[in-house]
């Protein structure tokens, strides 16, 4: 959508842009055009994005003949229309179609006295006009003019935050997407567990569908519940996962700190954790909403099958450690490859 806005304000040579300027804008500035009640869905969405995109679009004045004096952002970090209404513009003796070139005097912009009273910071600001045509630039978050690109827009518009410690537990090469998504919800405690529903007063009485002792929660399901804890211990006995101590948050912190690198053992640990979360939550919902049950051994088998299928599909280095790990899952490494290096040496 921002790409469409860019094409309009930079007046790119396309039939769509020419049609919009002729039939939608009709000499009016893109930033000033009102939203018509009968406008199409796509046009309304483009106009709705203006306030979000506008701080990044900067007019680079050359001769001033195509830059709107009032509505384009060119002299300061905001357009003059932010402090001057339509009535103010008319009272000054001007109109909303004025270009920067209309205020030219001795090769530079001459500020109207009435505008200087509203924006004193313009006093002393000298902007010279040249013979070069005006251009439009993309002002990045670093306050530098960049070439317009979709990737640049994405980096500037998106909400960016510091990486969380546990990101590598979820988003890693060869992860299983549906498992990663469920693990992400569990880590952020966004699963609709019974304790959350009770806090919203949606569910009055509820008990864990496995142990039937208390309402389920992320901490209870992963892995305080007796039923689920035995499943965890089954994989711990094989040398995977961690010895669980404390609550769910402590478990995630320990795993994030210890499961680093690209070894095959780290990969299997991450796959196992995500698969366990996915299948335990799946079984929990099956018991609550379908009145069906799987035995503990079947759940373990389902987790093993998914991990085994994923391991069979990756390319690994044919090293002794890798062969030992894969043989534990019933997978043989017949020929060496270096395309995808999950080796202890990494």
Q: pLDDT of 171-208, one tens digit each?
A: 998 999 999 999 999 999 999 999 988 888 876 678 99
Smallest CA-to-CA distance from 165 within 242, 258, 248, 236 is with: 258
- Is the pLDDT at 162 greater than 50? The verdict is yes
Specify whether the CB–CB gap between 100 and 136 falls below 8 A: no
- Mean pLDDT for 76-95 is 93
> For the purposes of burial, counting CB atoms within 10 Å of the CB of 177, is it exposed (0-12), middle (13-18) or buried (19 or more)?
exposed
Tokens of 152: 């640049």
* pLDDT at residue 47 in the model: 95
Only one residue has tokens 């769910």, namely 248
- Is the pLDDT at 252 greater than 50? The verdict is yes
**Alpha helix locations (H) across 119-225?**
150-157, 167-170, 177-187, 194-199, 218-219
Number of Cβ within 10 Å of residue 74's Cβ equals 20
Smallest CA-to-CA distance from 32 within 105, 85, 99 is with: 85
C-beta contacts of 28-31 below 8 A and 24+ residues apart? 28/96, 29/68, 29/70, 29/71, 29/72, 29/96, 30/5, 31/68, 31/71, 31/72, 31/79, 31/81
Least confident window among 20-24, 231-235, 315-319, 341-345: 341-345
Tokens of 154: 């994405």
Over residues 201-214, the pLDDT tens digits come to 876 678 999 999 89
Smallest CA-to-CA distance from 74 within 57, 49, 90 is with: 57
- Is the pLDDT at 336 greater than 80? The verdict is no
CA atoms within 13 A on the CB side of 342: 21
- Mean pLDDT for 151-157 is 93
Cβ within 8 Å of residue 249, ≥6 positions away: none
Higher pLDDT among residues 316 and 90, named by residue: 90
* pLDDT at residue 148 in the model: 93
* pLDDT at residue 341 in the model: 47
Q: Is 311 helix (H, G, I), strand (E, B) or coil?
A: helix
* pLDDT at residue 19 in the model: 94
Only one residue has tokens 């518009």, namely 157
The Cα 99–Cα 125 span in angstroms is 18
- Confidence category of residue 334, pLDDT binned at 50, 70, 90: low
Domains of the chain, residue spans: 2-157, 167-327
Only one residue has tokens 């006995």, namely 237
Smallest CA-to-CA distance from 228 within 306, 287, 309 is with: 287
* pLDDT at residue 333 in the model: 61
Over residues 38-79, the pLDDT tens digits come to 889 999 999 999 999 999 999 999 999 999 999 999 999 999
* pLDDT at residue 337 in the model: 45
Conformation bin of residue 246: beta by default, left when phi > 0, alpha when psi is -120 to 50: left
Least confident window among 194-198, 221-225, 332-336: 332-336
320-327 and 264-289 helices cross at what angle (nearest 10)?
Answer: 20
226-236 and 264-289 helices cross at what angle (nearest 10)?
Answer: 160
* pLDDT at residue 339 in the model: 44
- Is the pLDDT at 90 greater than 60? The verdict is yes
The Cα 13–Cα 282 span in angstroms is 53
Cβ within 8 Å of residue 32, ≥6 positions away: 70, 71, 81, 96
* pLDDT at residue 159 in the model: 85
- Is the pLDDT at 141 greater than 70? The verdict is yes
* pLDDT at residue 222 in the model: 87
**Number of H-type helices and E-type strands within the chain:** 16, 5
Cβ within 8 Å of residue 50, ≥6 positions away: 5, 30, 31
- Mean pLDDT for 240-260 is 86
- Confidence category of residue 6, pLDDT binned at 50, 70, 90: very high
- Is the pLDDT at 105 greater than 90? The verdict is no
- Is the pLDDT at 290 greater than 90? The verdict is yes
* pLDDT at residue 346 in the model: 41
Higher pLDDT among residues 315 and 22, named by residue: 22
Share of the chain above pLDDT 70, in %: 95
């Amino acid at each position: 959508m921002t790409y469409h806005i860019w094409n309009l304000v930079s007046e790119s040579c396309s039939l769509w842009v020419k049609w919009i300027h002729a039939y939608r804008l009709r000499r009016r500035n893109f930033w000033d055009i009102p939203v018509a009640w009968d406008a199409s869905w796509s046009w309304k969405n483009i106009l709705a994005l203006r306030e979000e995109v506008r701080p990044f679009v900067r007019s680079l004045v050359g001769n001033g003949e195509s830059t709107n004096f009032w509505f384009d952002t060119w002299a300061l970090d905001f357009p003059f229309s932010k402090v001057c209404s339509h009535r103010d513009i008319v009272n000054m003796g001007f109109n909303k179609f004025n270009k920067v070139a209309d205020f030219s005097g001795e090769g530079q912009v001459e500020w109207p006295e009435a505008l200087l009273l509203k924006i004193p910071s313009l006093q002393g600001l000298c902007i010279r006009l040249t013979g070069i045509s005006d251009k439009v630039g993309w002002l990045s978050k670093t306050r530098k003019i960049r070439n317009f690109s979709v990737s640049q827009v994405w980096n500037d518009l998106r909400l960016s935050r510091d990486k969380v410690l546990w990101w590598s537990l979820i988003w890693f090469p060869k992860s299983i997407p549906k498992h990663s998504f469920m693990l992400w919800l569990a880590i952020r405690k966004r699963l609709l567990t019974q304790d959350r529903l009770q806090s919203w007063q949606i569910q009055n009485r509820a008990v864990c569908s496995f142990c039937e002792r208390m309402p389920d929660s992320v901490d209870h399901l992963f892995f305080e519940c007796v039923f689920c804890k035995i499943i965890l211990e089954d994989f711990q006995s094989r040398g995977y996962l961690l010895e669980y101590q404390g609550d769910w948050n402590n478990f995630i912190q320990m795993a994030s700190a210890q499961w680093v690198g690209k070894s095959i053992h780290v990969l299997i640990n991450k796959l196992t954790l995500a698969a366990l979360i996915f299948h335990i939550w799946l079984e929990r919902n099956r018991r609550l909403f379908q009145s069906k049950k799987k035995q503990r051994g079947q759940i373990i088998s389902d987790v093993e099958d998914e991990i085994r299928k994923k391991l069979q599909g990756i390319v690994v280095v044919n090293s002794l450690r890798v062969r030992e790990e894969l043989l534990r899952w019933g997978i043989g490494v017949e020929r060496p490859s270096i395309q995808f290096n999950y080796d202890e040496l990494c």
